[in-house]
Structure 1
């Protein structure tokens, strides 16, 4: 794979020594772990560039997409869950439950293709692929301060580019946010209904406290903690779910990089992304646990 199918035996032997493949497996494993700790994650077979450099250069594109999708999930999913719990058993509740079911059931790649067909091809809305229009490089070039184009264009006052970048974000962000919106709405609804049956809620109603105050100051506050766990796990899902979405929309982030690595059997890149994904899961779960302890005094840090 590294040298191609017509490599000579002498070249193969040279590369084996260069990569340490002539050593016993335990020695190879220890060498690999040591290189990972030092920041040497190997070189991509496809691009011949260091894997860690490839990951860091593409990370802002993926994180921008994930953050927008996560914002949509919280901003849309939480109110839908509250509305569904407040109007339990009524028509709005049924509508929200159907929306949630569709969101968590529909595959991301299918939804992405459907949105491309309906919103772009049929209605001519938004944009099909990539993060921005290529003509902006000549008319309104983006100063890449952080790699987060929405932030970079807003900070530099490049509003033409900002509008274009935001328009390119709509379809992939909606595609990626569909599952977490449904999940957050369902979890918020379930926890809200459970909390609304607690004795202190009944006591508050007996004292004549308004239903709106009870809903948002008592019920929602106590329902946030379990919902936060789902949001944290959903964020971890978005990092992996973005792979399909990025490939469909040719986004150019980690998802595109990983998909290309799998198609080309680029094992160093695959290993690097596996390590990055596993580390991301661990960090996200740790942050969620700490946030739960901060929000809920009943949870104690030990």
Structure 2
């Protein structure tokens, strides 16, 4: 792999969408600060989705308001309309992930409008982001499969990536929303976007529904992606995409990538943070690396103490 790659943790947005227990603003802010202090390059801190439909996102604006400028510079907010960008910017956000679906039926279910309508509104969203001195990403959900229509043709994604109304987006996020893609598909789409659309940083957002979230993520990097999304403990899923489950786990991606800043002690602290958060949420740990880290072996430096010997944060 010759492309430098970074990791964005999406626990506080995608990771919380399907959880039954909300997290307080104080707890979310504490998680953001701990992730950043451990060396995670960037985090997704919430969504402007309708809180009546996605209750765990209800306090996103309060989280934004509590973070300082240095923290906000490394924090991303999910938005789907120009109005979302305006509201988040007023609270202090500077990084916006503008999301639409390659599949029109999923866009209707997820955002309440057609994909064409989302594209038509994007230039205004871009202008609002620029006016706030911020950055905006083009996020393409259901880039591989749709829960209602099945396989999404590559050309559909490329048409979105090449649509002139998306000019001004600094990055493109390709989402395997359902976790149904295989490495060959990921390689093909990432390569096509890298060579047949405007030069942008490519972010790969993968789910682990079929157990190959890490394999797909590594395939994306080999094909030209330079950032990966992951969530602590493999949390995640889309409430408007039947069959979707958790994201590729942050712990698994870190263990596979071994970025320069990651040490066994830092990895242990990430595992401990995940353990405490999952316990609070009554969610299982889907991270294979997070589970393996609690091995009783003493000969492997990446192993950490057993969960019952750790204090939950």
- Is the structural similarity TM-score above 0.5? no
Question: Counting strand residues as a fraction of each chain, which structure ranks higher?
Answer: 2
Between structure 1 and structure 2, the one with the greater Rg is 1
TM-score for the superposition, normalised by structure 1: 0.26
TM-score, normalised on structure 2? Answer: 0.26
Between the two structures, name the one with larger relative contact order (CA 8 Å, sep ≥ 6): 1
The structure with more helix, counted as a fraction of residues: 1
